[in-house]
Amino acid sequence: MVKMGTRILLTSALVAAPLAAQAQEDVTAGFAIALSGFVAPYDDGPYKAAKLAIEDINAKGGLLGRKIVDVVADTASDPAQGATAATDVLSKGAELVMVTCDFDFGAPAAVVAQSQNKIAFSSCAADAKFGVQGIGPDAYTMATATNHQGAILAEYAWKELGKRSVYILNDLQVEYNKSLCANFETRWRELAGGEGVAGYDEYNAGNDTVISAQVSRMKEAESKADVIMFCGAINGGSYVRQIRAAGIDLPMITGESMDGTYWLEAIPDLKDFYNLTYGSIYGDDPDARVNDFVARYTKTYGEAPVTGHALTGYGVIEAWALAVERAGTFDTDAVRAKLDSFNEENLLVGKTTFTSELHINNSRPMTIIKIDGGKPASVGSFNAEKTPEIKF
């Protein structure tokens, strides 16, 4: 009886051993993102691009010899579901959690990853609070900070467009908009002085579907301004349409939140509209690598990325894999140390630098898209000579 029991135990162990070895061959990347709801257009491209990066790494033998597999959980564009989604992918063994492309919508998931000492990467949350100060030392974002985005837009409007007086319209629903407008205004006032702001107004997309009062005030100030800075994101096309429908035809500049064409049906003949992006999705980016990526993405998924944010998703996997390779381990503390030593790493999304105190980039060039006659096209890559300091 004793010998038979021993034989059974040994046989069970021998059967279990290959299974354990097989499990060791894989490493899991988790995605707690919006697959549905109004935030989905911002997460769709980064997620699909991240899967392409995983495919590239696996084709070369994996990461530290282990195949990367992915697990995903839908936040349904609800911040309250972010923690649940992160818990789900972490319970499935995720060593990395990529979260939504926004501080407000991505932070809840990142906080859960931080609590379990796992690296959390937002694809493109551009508020500098997404990092050590706002979440914890395991939180990073592949975005370019709104400090630098605002500075690029201010200098582009001043130097390239020759504008001298701006009217600012700010959507207060998300931190990105508030931070973008604040940093734009800081840099703009340095260039144009106090007389360079013809007016300022705000709304909240969470409550205000119609902004007729704001549009009326903008119309009254139109003669004093020669450009509009629009800090909008969610349902942004509706607000742009309301402005144009009032006969306000001033050029408009805006951040990367308005990239893509998915919202253009509301204003099919839109003109004199400029937005930032991480890279053109129209095949005309100044960087040939970006155009090659867009072509591959289009071939794989049957359509181009919805926005240039897709590049940041590829960059998340690129950055994490590079740090893991340099660390020689998946241990979070070791990987974090390597991420914090990044110095202008040449990733697809652009030169990437992190420090132990700053987990966002604040110096990258960005592509600017001009929409004329409803047709978007790249006008080139631009950088800022001076960027407002990041303050917490």
- Give the residue from 139, 136, 61 showing the smallest Cα distance to 100: 139
Which are the contacts of 345, defined by CB distance < 8 A and separation ≥ 6?
319, 322, 351, 352, 353
Whether pTM exceeds 0.85? yes
Can 9-144+288-352 and 146-284+366-382 be said to share one CATH topology? yes
Q: Residue 29: is its pLDDT beyond 50?
A: yes
For 270-308, the pLDDT digits (tens) are 999 999 999 999 999 999 999 999 999 999 999 999 999
Q: Residue 15: is its pLDDT beyond 70?
A: no
Which tokens belong to 272? 């004199």
**Three-class SS of residue 74?**
strand
Q: Residue 95: is its pLDDT beyond 60?
A: yes
**Domain regions of the chain by residue span:** 9-144+288-352, 146-284+366-382
Rounded distance, CA 196 to CA 167, Å? Answer: 9
Quick one: pLDDT band at residue 17, thresholds 50, 70, 90? Answer: very low
Give, for 67, the enclosing helix (H) or strand (E): strand 67-74
Q: Residue 14: is its pLDDT beyond 80?
A: no
- Give the residue from 351, 342, 341, 358 showing the smallest Cα distance to 289: 351
Q: Is the dihedral of CA 184, 185, 187, 191 positive or negative?
A: positive
CATH fold label, 9-144+288-352? Rossmann fold (3.40.50)
Strands 366-372 and 375-382: antiparallel
Length of the chain: 392
Cβ(146)–Cβ(180) below 8 Å: yes
Cβ(98)–Cβ(32) below 8 Å: yes
Q: Compute φ and ψ for 35, nearest 5 degrees.
A: -90, -15
pLDDT score of 286:
97
For 322-352, the pLDDT digits (tens) are 999 999 999 999 999 999 999 999 999 999 9
For the chain, the C-alpha Rg in angstroms (whole number) is 23
- Give the residue from 10, 11, 40, 44 showing the smallest Cα distance to 297: 44
DSSP label of 66: B
Quick one: pLDDT band at residue 83, thresholds 50, 70, 90? Answer: very high
Q: How far is CA 321 from the centre of its chain?
A: 18
pLDDT score of 5:
42
DSSP label of 269: T
Query: What share of the chain has pLDDT > 70, as a percent?
Result: 94
How far CA 293 is from CA of 29, 101, 283, 287, in Å, comes to: 21, 20, 9, 10
Q: Residue 21: is its pLDDT beyond 70?
A: no
pLDDT score of 169:
99
Burial (CB count within 10 angstroms: exposed 0-12, middle 13-18, buried 19+), residue 298: middle
Cβ(272)–Cβ(249) below 8 Å: yes
Hey, which residues does 254 pair with through a beta bridge?
230, 275
For 132-172, the pLDDT digits (tens) are 999 999 999 999 999 999 999 999 999 999 999 999 999 99
Quick one: pLDDT band at residue 24, thresholds 50, 70, 90? Answer: low
**Three-class SS of residue 380?**
strand
Rounded distance, CA 36 to CA 75, Å? Answer: 8
Rounded distance, CA 383 to CA 216, Å? Answer: 34
Strands 166-171 and 227-231: parallel
**In the CATH scheme, what is the code of domain 146-284+366-382?**
3.40.50.2300
3-state DSSP helix/strand/coil % of the chain, to nearest 5 = 45, 20, 35
Task: Calculate ∠ Cα 177-140-354, nearest 5°.
Answer: 105
Q: Residue 368: is its pLDDT beyond 60?
A: yes
Q: Residue 97: is its pLDDT beyond 70?
A: yes
Task: Quickly list H helices, the chain.
Answer: 2-25, 40-59, 79-91, 103-115, 146-155, 175-192, 212-221, 236-245, 288-301, 310-327, 332-339
